[in-house]
Amino acid sequence: MFEVKLKKKQGDFLVDTAFSTHTTGITALFGRSGAGKTSVINMIAGLSRPDTGLIRIHDTILFDSEKRINLRPYKRRVGYVFQEGRLFPHFSVKSNLTYGMKRIKGARRYIDFNKVVDLLGIGHLLDRRPATLSGGEKQRVAIGRALLASPRLLLMDEPLASLDAARKAEVLPFINKLPGQFDIPILYVSHSVDEIRSLADNLVFLVDGSTRASGPVETVAIRKDFKAVVGRQEHLPFTVLSSN
Amino acid sequence: MLNLTPIEIEALKLSLWVGFWAVTGSIGPGILVAWLLARKNFWGKTLVDGLIHLPLVMPPVVTGYMLLLVMGKQGVVGHWLFEHTGLCFAFNWKGAALASAIMAFPLLVRAIRLSMESVDHRLEQAAQTLGASPLDQFFTVTLPLTLPGILTGIILAFARSLSEFGATITFVSNIPGETRTLPLALYTLTQMPDGEAGALRLCIICATVALAALVASEMMSRRLNRTLKGDH
């Protein structure tokens, strides 16, 4: 059970969203550019603070404005795969991967190093430096690094947006394998309908900072307002679609 | 080939010794202040920034005289320090190191601050989401990526402290073997009737040491950049 209720005023823009999921699969947070997707997951990760609201994963409360609970980001155990990877340039791939792993107590560590490395196919990269990796390799390492911190929840902020079509096709299958292999809810931010079609089980549809609808992909995707946004998007040329 | 006299050797050794302690003592505070200025917003930040840069723009004699008033044996802080710790900065090499440290501090802080500001803040956020506390994140991400700037700052501060004259002679005077560093010895020689040859030798030493420091810094920072950015 993963529950989010957030309100935050940023200048003239109001983020006011609420959704919850019960499954451990991939939930897509979908909306056009500027719909407030990144604001929402930054609040979940603790990188920015909501005005009011509640963030709960199972029995653990990460944020509750009524009870005045606000866990610091490093205590939340929320994995975050950033759009630009954000690998540490001064560490090897291996040290990047183990950075979060080393910072979690053995008893809470439920994700195995070798399993992640095999699954993401990054075993041959361990001694390399991030600067020498291709875009697709970087994102696979970034996913591995977030997973190995044994998070309660995995956030992915358009992890494919900075990649070209060939690299997208390279990384997508690895993301698709995650829900079957690890028992973690995944919140996947995207404005690409293709990605959502191939990845998501659930869909949260965000318009101007507010949740318009949420639920299984099949039920949200047939809504008229959703189709309106998607339809407009699909008429756009691909280059515009893939940029952010 | 230079045939240094014992007095000149003494001045060279003293200069290196004073420079070493001036820099060693200011690295910690320098990193802390640079971090405050680069990453934090607080009331009076502009004032702090200005105070640190003051020795750079004031006549060094002013800095030396202020040190004498504050840190001398009768000074507010100097008296207290001597009473409680036995530490004394008046008319000895420690005072020369303190004067050099204060004069070099703006250069040290500036180099570290610039380098720290160029560290991608988003990497620090990433470290936090991976379970690193602010202190942990500082020592594993911010500080290693600031190393090139710290190195540059150290070399600049060392070179500046070797050339320190005005504040030193005002604060701790010109005592052979205690506070008579290279520039002070050079000045003394120029005041003596037959000191020209010695003065010239000290000039050459000063230029050589400064050049060696700059070349070493350039080489180390290139190597460091390669390691940090990790092209190979």
Interval A116-120 mean pLDDT: 92
Task: Tell which wins on pLDDT, B105 or A24.
Answer: B105
The pLDDT tens digits of the residues spanning B31-51 come to: 999 999 999 999 999 999 999
The pLDDT tens digits of the residues spanning B67-109 come to: 999 998 888 899 999 888 888 898 899 999 999 999 999 999 9
Structure confidence at residue A116 as a pLDDT band (50, 70, 90): very high
Interval B157-178 mean pLDDT: 92
CB contact under 8 A, B122 and A82: yes
**Residue of B125, B131, B133 lying closest to A149 (CB–CB):** B131
Q: With a cut of 0.90, is the ipTM above it?
A: no
Q: Exposure string (b/e) for B130-141, b if CB count within 10 Å is 16 or more?
A: bbbeeeebbebb
Does the pLDDT value for residue A143 go beyond 70? yes
Does the pLDDT value for residue A244 go beyond 90? no
**Interface contact A52, partner B, CB < 8 A:** no
Six-digit token string for A226: 């959703």
Task: Tell which wins on pLDDT, A236 or B116.
Answer: B116
Does the pLDDT value for residue A179 go beyond 80? yes
Say what the pLDDT of residue A239 is. 36
Measure A227 CA to nearest chain B CA, in Å. 35
Distance (Å) of CA A26 to CA A22, A119, A201: 11, 17, 6
DSSP string, A110-154: -S-HHHHHHHHT-GGGTTS-GGGS-HHHHHHHHHHHHHHT--SEE
Interval A69-82 mean pLDDT: 94
Query: Which residues numbered 39-68 in B keep a CB inside 8 Å of some CB on A?
Result: none
Does the pLDDT value for residue B231 go beyond 60? no
CB contact under 8 A, A47 and B125: yes
Interval A103-111 mean pLDDT: 87
Say what the pLDDT of residue B230 is. 62
**Interface contact B150, partner A, CB < 8 A:** no
Does the pLDDT value for residue B219 go beyond 90? no
Average pLDDT along chain A: 88
Say what the pLDDT of residue A232 is. 59
Q: Which range, of A152-156, B62-66, B172-176, B211-215, averages the lowest pLDDT?
A: B211-215
Say what the pLDDT of residue A237 is. 40
Measure A98 CA to nearest chain B CA, in Å. 10
Which residues of chain A make contact with B223, given a CB cutoff of 8 A?
none
**Residue of B122, B145, B230 lying closest to A129 (CB–CB):** B230
Does the pLDDT value for residue B222 go beyond 60? yes
Q: What percent of chain A has pLDDT over 90?
A: 56
**Spatial CA neighbour of A175 closest among A77, A109, A87, A163:** A163
Residue-range domain boundaries for chain A: 2-80+152-242
Residue-range domain boundaries for chain B: 6-229
Q: What percent of chain A has pLDDT over 70?
A: 94
Does the pLDDT value for residue B232 go beyond 70? no
The pLDDT tens digits of the residues spanning B195-210 come to: 888 899 999 998 998 8
Say what the pLDDT of residue B214 is. 85
Q: How many other C-beta atoms lie within 10 A of the C-beta of residue A218? A: 9
**Interface contact A149, partner B, CB < 8 A:** yes
Question: Would you give the distance in Å from CA A120 to the centre of its chain?
Answer: 17
Question: Would you give the distance in Å from CA B197 to the centre of its chain?
Answer: 30
Say what the pLDDT of residue B121 is. 92
The pLDDT tens digits of the residues spanning A228-243 come to: 777 755 544 433 333 3
Does the pLDDT value for residue B144 go beyond 60? yes
Class at the top of the CATH hierarchy for domain B6-229:
mainly alpha
Does the pLDDT value for residue A103 go beyond 50? yes
Say what the pLDDT of residue A215 is. 85
Average pLDDT along chain B: 91
Which residues of chain B make contact with A77, given a CB cutoff of 8 A?
131
**Interface contact B140, partner A, CB < 8 A:** yes
The matching CATH number, chosen from 3.40.50.300, 2.60.120.200, 3.30.70.20, 3.30.930.10, for A2-80+152-242 is: 3.40.50.300
Interval A213-238 mean pLDDT: 72
Task: Please state the three-class secondary structure of chain B as a single string.
Answer: CCCCCHHHHHHHHHHHHHHHHHHHHHHHHHHHHHHHHHHCCCCCHHHHHHHHHHHHHCCHHHHHHHHHHHHCCCCHHHHHHHHHHCCCCCCCHHHHHHHHHHHHHHHHHHHHHHHHHCCCHHHHHHHHHCCCCHHHHHHHHHHHHHHHHHHHHHHHHHHHHHCCCHHHHHHHCCCCCCCCCHHHHHHHHHCCCCCHHHHHHHHHHHHHHHHHHHHHHHHHHHHHHHHHHCCC
**Helices B45-57 and B60-71, interaxial angle, to 10°?**
110
CB contact under 8 A, B145 and A47: no
Say what the pLDDT of residue A146 is. 96
